[in-house]
Structure formats: C-alpha cells, structure tokens
Structure 1
Amino acid sequence: MRPLLALLLLACAFSAQAEIKTQTIPYQSADGTKLIGYYAYDDAKAGKRPGVIVVHEFWGLNDYAKRRARDLAALGYSALAVDMYGDGKTAAHPKEAMAFMQAALKDAKVADARFAAGVELLKAQPQTDPAKIAAIGYCFGGRVVLDMARQGMPLLGVASFHGVLDTKTPAQPGVVKAKILVEHGSADTIVPPASVAAFKQEMDAAKVDYKFVEQPGAKHSFTSPEADMHKDHGLDVGYDKNADEKSWADLQAFFASIFG
C-alpha cells in the first residue's frame, strides 16, 4: 500500500472513531415535572471526565444551548444541557419566553429542584466524574447558575455569560462553595451598570472567589449568533464574535483552574 494512501486511511479511521455522541434523555424533578435533557460527550476519550451543566437562555432548551453542550464535549467534558421549563419547551417570541421564565422562577424551590435533577442526571452518566461538576448559563441561565452558587450547591465552579445578576437571595459569607466567572458586555443595557455594581458589592461582602470580566462594546447575548434575529423584537441584543471567542477562552482557562 502506498504511504500516502495508508495515511489517508488512518486519518479516516481516526476521524470515524473521534465523534461527539449526543443523546436526548427524559428525566423529572422532585416535583414531578417532566424534563428533557440533551447530553453530549466525545466517545474517543477514555474514562471519566468532569461534567458541565449548561443552562439555556430565556428562549428555552433550543439549538444554541445544545450546540454549547457539543462544544464542551469537544473540549473533553461530559456535558448536559438541562431543561428548566419542562417538556423541552422553547419560545420564538420574547413575550412567550418571558412567560416561561417567570413561571420557572416563580417558586425558587421548583427551580432548585429542576437544576438539581439535571445535576443528578449528569452525575449518573458513565462518562462523568461525579466529584468534578461545574455549570454554565446564558442570560436567564446565568442567573440560574449564579443562584445555585449563592445557595451553596456543591459545584466546583459556575460561569455566567451575559447573565442576569440580580437576585432575591444574595450570597452570604461562608455559603458559596463554587468559584465564579462572570462574562459581561460593557454595552449591555438589559443588565445595567447599577446591577453590575450591586453584584460586585454582594460578592465582595460574602467574600466569594469570583472573577468579573467585562467585554468591551459587547451587548447582551454577545455569545449567540442567533441574537441578531431578535433585534426585530425590539431587544437591545447583538452577537459579538470577538467577545464570544474571548469569553470562551476565559471559560477554558477557568475550567483548567477548577478541574486541575
């Protein structure tokens, strides 16, 4: 066999082996809500690996959240995009999305139970190291993961991307176990400077180990290429490729620090 042909066949064989596997997994929270998770991992990687929860924007468990799970799988993590609305609901219009989000946040215990159910599902996957779990969230999902950290959920770290920073349950000294990364756009009008200042004051007062990164000139939803479609709905959002790539690099460095 010619050397070049042999190399091509070897490359094709390796490519066929290195594949991101995905699976839709039904599960339910303690209150009986039926949920649908989207799980992703790289089957070419042997053994257990850190697990990462992905919490969707207020649009629901859409293609963007699922893509981020695949992105994490490609980095070598066991990733689960969770469902905070139930039945995998998604919205196309802001009014519908707002209704879904408000319903999910109406009772904090319900939101906690849905997130916790996702964590248990991720830990149960054979590829996951249950001792190494983190969470990331976008917009609404950013608030969710920050609130889970505030409540002392045993996560190694949480990362919020253009997340909602306000909360009804401020962090208290000695409670937060997770390290925190916040990626925020300097031109975000949905999460105004007053909210940023209040968040930093809250974290400092509670002596939380956190890092706040401001992406220059970035608007709300700066990581999502789909954001520009929603400008017609009157939302002050926009994709920023530079901020997206920089914040993703920050996340990888953050995970390297917490997972070891």
Structure 2
Amino acid sequence: MATTQDIDLSERSAERGGSQPLRGYLARPSQDAHGPGPWPGVVVVHEIFGLDEQARGHADRLAAAGFLTLAVDLFSAGGARRCLVSTMRALSRGEGRAFTDIDTGREWLERSPDQAGGIGIIGFCLGGGFALMTAAGHGFDAASVNYGFPPKDLDARVENACPVVASYGGRDRPLRGAAATLDTVLTRAGVVHDVKEYPDAGHGFLNFAPNGPRVLRPLFKVAGMGPNPVAADDAWRRIETFFHANLKGDS
C-alpha cells in the first residue's frame, strides 16, 4: 500500500516567485510491491475543483503503479474562489503563477532521493490543459492529457513536446473533435503519442466517484459527466503503460 503525506512546497515556490503558500500531496509506492526505490516521478494537476479526494485518489493510483507522485495544489494561495480566475488566465496565456507552481512540483521530485528516471505530468479537466501546455519546454518526459482543452496555438505548443497520452469522452460536447484534432497535430509534429476517444464516456470519466458541489451533481449526471468505470479502466491501463515505457520504470 502506498504511503502518503501532505507536504509544504512554499520555500521552493518562493525562490521561483510562485504561490505563497504552495501545498502538495505526495504518494510513495509500496516498497513491498515496487522495491525500496528510487522510482520514476509524476506530477498530478487537479481538476477545476482543486486538490480534492479525486486528485488524491489519482495520485494514490499512480503510486500503486510504481510512480513517486506529487499532486500540486494550484489553489493553495486562497482556495478556488480566489485562485480559479487567475489560474484560468494563466492557462489561456500559457504563462503565469500556475506554471511556476507546476515547475516547482517537478523540481521537488527531481531533487528527491526517492526519484530516479523520468518525470511525467498528468492532468484532468483544467489540469489536462496544463499537462498539454507543459508537454514542451518544462522538463517533463511524458504527459497524460485527460479531457483538457487544446489551445488555439496547438501546433506551436506541441513543437518538440515530450510523448503524450491523451483520453477524451465522446459524450463531452464542449470537447467534441478535440481528440481527433490533437491526434492530427501531434502526428504532424512528429510527437510520440497515444490519443483515444471513448464514445460512451463524458467529461470526468476517469474519476472514481462524482465530485463538485453536491447541488450541481444531478445536472452533471444529466449532462453525461462523471465516472465511467469501463472507459476509465482502459484509459488507466494506457496511461500506466505509457508512463512506464517513457519514464523508464519497470513495466
């Protein structure tokens, strides 16, 4: 079983001009299952709802697969109400404090004696957008993009990108056609990739339980959003296999 802890990234964040404070959630692989380490690393970027139980659960799952996993809380400096707008603006611009916080998380893993091999990034929803935007120029060795919105300048953003594995839901109306577009652009750029759309899945299908404000969950369900265990099982298998292959972990 993975061991977990909340960690304080504030000191290293201050050195880079990032969020104050900056918090994270660390999940270490089980030594019984994966040896004493060190292990490949993965940075998790959460959904629009923040570093909630879903994000922690995603980190736990990756640790169970053999990755030293750090989920970075992009809303550390005031919660979603104060940080969401600025975080969305940073994603739109392709620069800003949120990117600094993600880079801080990667550097923390890089300096950890428990990490060896490559470091990947995985994001969901809002985090999926950041995973795609940091696939080039941020020192990651693989990126997992899950229902993340492609930027308008997608061709430029994926130039010299690390290998990308991406998953989208066919019932996710705002992202209709995103998987095909991303696949085409990555192919044109010569980036190693695995992009798949799941016809029966909607937004948030990799979650293990409904999330977000309880009052809105019935609306999310009607809109086809939320867990889809069949699609999620296949997507997680692809993600873990892709990370093992590109982060030089033991498959």
- 1:241 deviates by 0.8
Q: In the alignment, which residue of structure 1 is the partner of 2:71? A: 81
SS at match of 2:8: strand
Q: In the alignment, which residue of structure 1 is the partner of 2:130? A: 144
Give the number of the structure with larger relative contact order, counting CA–CA contacts within 8 Å between residues 6 or more apart: 2
Q: In the alignment, which residue of structure 2 is the partner of 1:254? A: 242
Pick one of 131, 140, 151 that aligns with 1:167. Answer: 151
Q: In the alignment, which residue of structure 1 is the partner of 2:101? A: 114
Q: In the alignment, which residue of structure 2 is the partner of 1:190? A: 174
RMSD: 2.6
Question: Would you say the 8 A contact 2:133–2:157 is kept in 1?
Answer: no
Give the direction of change, closer, same or farther, for the CA distance of 1:24–1:104 in structure 2 (3 Å limit): farther
Give the direction of change, closer, same or farther, for the CA distance of 1:191–1:173 in structure 2 (3 Å limit): closer
Give the TM-score normalised by structure 2.
0.82
Alignment of 1:213-228 (within 5 A): 213-224=196-207, 225-227=209-211
Q: In the alignment, which residue of structure 2 is the partner of 1:154? A: 139
Distance in 2 of aligned mates of 1:174 and 1:101? 21
- 1:126 deviates by 2.2
Q: In the alignment, which residue of structure 2 is the partner of 1:23? A: 5
Give the direction of change, closer, same or farther, for the CA distance of 1:241–1:145 in structure 2 (3 Å limit): same
Cα offsets for 1:30-87 (capped at 9, x unmatched):
2241210000103523121100111100111111111111111111210001122224
Cα offsets for 1:141-168 (capped at 9, x unmatched):
111011001x33222210112222x215
- 1:252 deviates by 1.7
Give the direction of change, closer, same or farther, for the CA distance of 1:106–1:179 in structure 2 (3 Å limit): closer
Question: Would you say the 8 A contact 2:18–2:101 is kept in 1?
Answer: no
Name the count of aligned residue pairs: 234
In our comparison, the structure showing a higher alpha carbon Rg is 1
Give the direction of change, closer, same or farther, for the CA distance of 1:259–1:234 in structure 2 (3 Å limit): closer
Distance in 2 of aligned mates of 1:203 and 1:255? 17
Give the direction of change, closer, same or farther, for the CA distance of 1:205–1:31 in structure 2 (3 Å limit): same
Question: Would you say the 8 A contact 1:51–1:134 is kept in 2?
Answer: yes
Give the TM-score normalised by structure 1.
0.80
Give the direction of change, closer, same or farther, for the CA distance of 1:89–1:249 in structure 2 (3 Å limit): same
Q: In the alignment, which residue of structure 1 is the partner of 2:112? A: 125
More displaced 10-residue stretch of structure 1: 72-81 or 96-105: 96-105
Distance in 1 of aligned mates of 2:41 and 2:139? 13
Question: Would you say the 8 A contact 1:40–1:79 is kept in 2?
Answer: yes
- State the one-letter code of the partner of 1:170: L
Distance in 1 of aligned mates of 2:97 and 2:196? 30
Q: In the alignment, which residue of structure 2 is the partner of 1:232? A: 218
Q: Percent identity?
A: 27
Question: Would you say the 8 A contact 1:60–1:88 is kept in 2?
Answer: no
Q: In the alignment, which residue of structure 2 is the partner of 1:13? A: none
